[in-house]
Amino acid sequence: MFHFYKIPILLKIFFSDLVWNIPAKEKTIYLTFDDGPIPHLTEYVLGQLDEYDAKATFFCVGDNIKKHPKICEEIVKRGHTLGNHTFNHLKGWSTSNDDYKQNIDLCQTQIAQFQQQAKPLFRPPHGQITFNQIQHLKEKYQIIMWDVLAYDFDSSHSAHKSLQKSMKFTESGSVVVFHDNYKAEEKLKYMLPRYLKYFAEKGFCFKNIVLR
């Protein structure tokens, strides 16, 4: 299978309502972590980020927030942003518009207990979202995709290879996806410290996505 570490420019133009990268004046990387919060691994990520004074955006599954509110609290306390990743990690292409929106709103009621957000951030699980769903959601949510996918969840590529590719394709303004889920744990723990060190030494800073 072909792996798109870097999102093709045509896809970005085609889906221009979505955010793929965020132009920045200084050397900036927008790290994002999908699927948490979960015990130990999310806390591990928070510890790594602290070492570099890095801020990030956590696209949380509502059900996980409900199960692990303390970790969610910790994410906010350390200055990171919470994003919405549906309540049940739904696949947009096989979910009706109404069910999809309802599940996202349900996740947002969880998030709202920890962080006030005028226009919340939403990222579709599996990157699956239809044109119709975008129209349905874009008034209320900022839909955040990504520019670089780290493939930390994919065991068909070695951690070393995924790290090399992710580093190669990251540029200033990139929105980069990692995963704080158990499937990605082993690769994430190899990749994240090395990735942070590499770009910190090159003078990059890591910022959370600012809410509008």
Interacting residues with Zn ion (CB under 5 A): 34-35, 125
**Least distance (Å) between residue 137 CB and Zn ion:** 16
CB of 120 or CB of 125, closer to Zn ion: 125
CB of 155 or CB of 160, closer to Zn ion: 155
CB of 28 or CB of 91, closer to Zn ion: 91
**Least distance (Å) between residue 41 CB and Zn ion:** 14
82 DSSP 8-state letter: E
CB atoms within 10 A of CB 82: 26
Q: Is 177 helix (H, G, I), strand (E, B) or coil?
A: strand
**Least distance (Å) between residue 172 CB and Zn ion:** 25
**Least distance (Å) between residue 142 CB and Zn ion:** 17
Cα dihedral sign for 148, 149, 151, 156?
negative
CB of 36 or CB of 55, closer to Zn ion: 36
Q: Write the burial class of residue 98 (CB in 10 Å: 0-12 exposed, 13-18 middle, 19+ buried).
A: exposed
Instruction: With beta carbons less than 8 A apart as the criterion, state whether 119 and 212 touch.
Output: yes
* 125 Cβ neighbours under 8 A, 6+ residues apart: 34, 61, 85, 86, 89, 90, 91, 92
